[in-house]
Amino acid sequence: MLSALWTAAGTVLEDIVLYNNKSFLVPLFLIALLFLWVTERSKRLRVVLVYLVTALGVVFVCPLYAWIGMRIDAEIYYRVLWALPMGIAVCYSAVKVMMRFHHFVGRGLVFVLAILVICINGDLVYTKTLHFKSVNAYHMPQQVIDVAEALKLENYRPIAVLPAELLPFFRQYTADVYTPYGRNILEPAWSFSNELYDAMEGDKTYDAVEIARCARQEHCAFVVLSCMKQIYGGMEEQNYFLFDFVQGYYIYMDYNYYDVYKEQGLLDADVIAVGEAKRN
C-alpha cells in the first residue's frame, strides 16, 4: 500500500510539472493564494477563493485520494486541476494589489506589470501548429459534414460504418445517422473492441468480403471507405452499390437494406434513382 501511495504521489507531481509546462502559472497561483490568505477580508470571497480552492488543492495532492482517483481513470486524474480557478485567483490578486496604490501612476504600473506577467506566462494560441482557420460554422473538417449530409435520409435513421478519422467529429454534427461504434473505440484505456472496426482499420487495405460480412452483422446499411486505402475485392461483388463519392470517401449502400427500405417507403427519391441506375 505504501508503495502504491508513493507511486501516486510521484504521478501527481509529474502531472503538476506537465500542467505548468514551461510557464510559471502554478507558482504564480500559489503566490496569489497565499496573498489572499493574508489580505482577503470578505468572508464570502474567502470561502470561494481561499478555503474551497485550498481544499481542492490539498485533495488533489493527497496520495490516498490520488491513488483512488487513478484507479478509476489515471489518464484524466490531472483534470482535477481544472477545478482550481488559477486565472481568477491571479487576476483578482493583481487587482487587489493595484487598489492598494492611491495614485494613478502606481496603479498604472501594477496594471502594466500584471499584463506583462500574464503575457510572458503564456503563448499566443494562434501561432500554434495545431491551430487552423475554421472552414465552417461547426469548426470541424468539412468532409465530416459532407459525408453526414450524404448519409441522411428524410424518413429513417440508417446505420453507417465510418473510417476512424471521422468518428471524433461525426456525432458532434448529427444524430440522424447511427454508427455501430463511436469515438470511444479509439481510446485504448476504455478497452472497447469490435470486429467491424478491426476489419475497417486493422490493415492498410480494405477486405471487401470481411467488411461486408461484419457490416451486415452490425446491421449497417451504408459503408463509408476512404479513397486513401485500396479495396481488396469489390464491394459491388458483395451486393453493394456505390451510392456517392464525397470529399475522398466512397459511400456504399447494401442492396439488401436498399430493397427493404424501398419497399417500406423509407428512401429518398435521389437514393432510389442512384440505386436503380446502378442495378440496371
Measured in degrees and rounded to the nearest 5, phi and psi for residue 229 equal -120, 140
Rounded to whole angstroms, the Cα distance separating 35 from 70 reads: 32
Q: How many domains does the chain have?
A: 2
Say if residue 56 is in the same domain as residue 183: no
Domain-embedded: residue 114: yes
Say if residue 104 is in the same domain as residue 167: no
Say if residue 220 is in the same domain as residue 247: yes
Rounded to whole angstroms, the Cα distance separating 34 from 43 reads: 16
Using an 8 Å Cβ cutoff, are 212 and 240 in contact? yes
Residue whose C-alpha cell is 470571497: 45
Say if residue 275 is in the same domain as residue 146: yes
Q: Please spell the DSSP secondary structure of 169-221, one letter per residue.
A: HHHHH-SSSB-SS-GGGG-GGGT---HHHHHHHSSSEEEHHHHHHHHHHTT-S
Domain-embedded: residue 215: yes
Q: Around Cβ 116, how many Cβ atoms within 10 Å?
A: 10
Q: What is the pLDDT of residue 6?
A: 73
Say if residue 258 is in the same domain as residue 163: yes
Query: Residues of the chain whose pLDDT is less than 70?
Result: 1-2, 4, 127-132, 189-190
Domain-embedded: residue 137: no
Say if residue 120 is in the same domain as residue 147: no
Say if residue 264 is in the same domain as residue 186: yes
pTM value > 0.85:
no
Domain-embedded: residue 22: yes
Domain-embedded: residue 132: no
Say if residue 154 is in the same domain as residue 243: yes
Interstrand relation of 249-254 and 240-246 (parallel, antiparallel or unpaired): antiparallel
Say if residue 233 is in the same domain as residue 187: yes
Say if residue 102 is in the same domain as residue 154: no
Residues 134-170: tens digit of each pLDDT: 777 888 889 999 999 999 999 999 999 999 999 989 9
Say if residue 152 is in the same domain as residue 121: no
Range of the domain at 100: 2-127
